[in-house]
């Protein structure tokens, strides 16, 4: 069995080594385990205890000497099942706590003018958060939209548009070039798109009346989500002027 397989299901590297060692040795004393595994004796009992807690090891006392035996490999499935049940319980706990946690965050967000997110995961979070705050009949204005970025971002926005469309949120988009990416959006529901080359070095999305998302797809991708009505209104006015010039 590969060590990495055991590590992927939640065992530490040393736990994986001890488990495999005992599979080969059978019931053994700590000295035999240490000799065969090549591990330092310092934490051997801590590792053995951890495997016992996980249900993957049993301990017996023979002539006042401790012996250890690993559970059958099929017991690993039971360990995974228990982990899954624990995760499901934790998920239910978090779901029940989310309303209060969101209230706390809303209070601090109102005090904070902007939040910076990094990487693809951060951009996903910011976009989903901004979309979730939109009220019926509010829209999104996007300018500087370009295909010229890492493909993973293009793929994300194509999927994200379905969330917007399912929420029946309208969007106007100004693309920086006419491309296959542009062609995918002009056919979408609740979407209007035009092209105006070279308008901005970054992409700017205005969500409703008071949120602005500024996206940077450079070497270190990031975005800034600004909660400020004046900023959003300024960008909305700028967008309207560009929309008139776009084709």
**Domain regions of the chain by residue span:** 3-76, 108-245
Q: How far is CA 213 from CA 33, 129, 196, 202, 204, in A?
A: 57, 11, 20, 10, 6
Most confident of 26-30, 96-100, 183-187, 213-217: 213-217
How high does pLDDT run on average in the chain? 85
| Predicted pLDDT of residue 73 | 81
Q: How confident is the model at residue 235 (pLDDT cuts 50, 70, 90)?
A: very high
| Predicted pLDDT of residue 142 | 95
Looking at the structure, give the CATH architecture of the domain made up of residues 108-245. Answer: 2-Layer Sandwich (3.30)
Interval 137-172: pLDDT, tens: 899 999 999 888 899 999 999 999 999 999 999 999
Compute the distance between CA of residue 154 and CA of residue 108 in angstroms, rounded to an integer: 31
> What CATH number should be reported for the domain whose range is 3-76?
1.10.10.10
* pLDDT-wise least confident of 60-74, 91-105, 229-243: 91-105
Inform me whether the pLDDT recorded for 97 exceeds 80. Answer: no
Instruction: Judge residue 29's burial from the number of C-beta atoms within 10 Å of its C-beta, 0-12 exposed, 13-18 middle, 19 or more buried.
Output: middle
Interval 118-143: pLDDT, tens: 999 999 999 999 999 898 889 999 99
Q: How confident is the model at residue 86 (pLDDT cuts 50, 70, 90)?
A: confident
Interval 23-72: pLDDT, tens: 888 888 888 888 888 887 778 888 888 888 888 888 888 888 888 888 88
Cβ(109)–Cβ(103) below 8 Å: no
| Predicted pLDDT of residue 200 | 63
Inform me whether the pLDDT recorded for 173 exceeds 90. Answer: yes
Secondary structure (DSSP) of 81-147:
HHHHHHHHHHHHHHHHHHHHHHHHHHHHHHH-SEEEEEHHHHHHHHHHHHHHTPPTT--EEEEEE-S
Of residues 97 and 161, the one with the higher pLDDT is 161
| Predicted pLDDT of residue 207 | 96
Inform me whether the pLDDT recorded for 198 exceeds 80. Answer: no
Inform me whether the pLDDT recorded for 1 exceeds 60. Answer: no
């Amino acid at each position: 069995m590969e060590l990495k397989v055991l590590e992927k299901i939640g065992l530490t590297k040393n736990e994986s080594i001890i488990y495999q060692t005992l599979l080969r040795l059978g019931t053994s004393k700590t000295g035999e385990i240490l000799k065969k595994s090549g591990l330092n004796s310092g934490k051997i009992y801590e590792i053995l205890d951890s495997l016992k807690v996980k249900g993957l090891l049993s301990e017996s006392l023979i002539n006042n000497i401790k012996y250890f035996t690993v559970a059958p490999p099929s017991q690993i499935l039971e360990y995974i099942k228990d982990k899954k049940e624990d995760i499901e319980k934790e998920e239910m706990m978090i779901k029940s706590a989310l309303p209060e946690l969101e209230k706390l965050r809303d209070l601090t967000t109102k005090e904070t003018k902007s939040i910076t997110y990094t990487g693809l995961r951060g951009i996903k979070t910011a976009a989903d958060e901004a979309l979730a705050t939109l009220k019926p009949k509010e829209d999104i204005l996007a300018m500087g939209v370009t295909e010229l970025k890492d493909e993973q971002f293009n793929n994300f926005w194509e999927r994200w548009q379905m969330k917007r469309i399912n929420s029946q949120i309208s969007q106007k988009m100004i693309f920086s070039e006419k491309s296959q990416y542009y062609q995918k959006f002009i056919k979408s529901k609740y979407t209007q798109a035009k092209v105006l080359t070279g308008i901005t070095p970054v992409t700017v999305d205005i969500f409703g009346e008071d949120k602005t998302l500024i996206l940077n797809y450079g070497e270190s991708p990031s975005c800034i989500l600004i909660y400020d009505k004046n900023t959003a209104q300024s960008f909305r006015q700028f967008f309207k002027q560009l929309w008139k010039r776009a084709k």
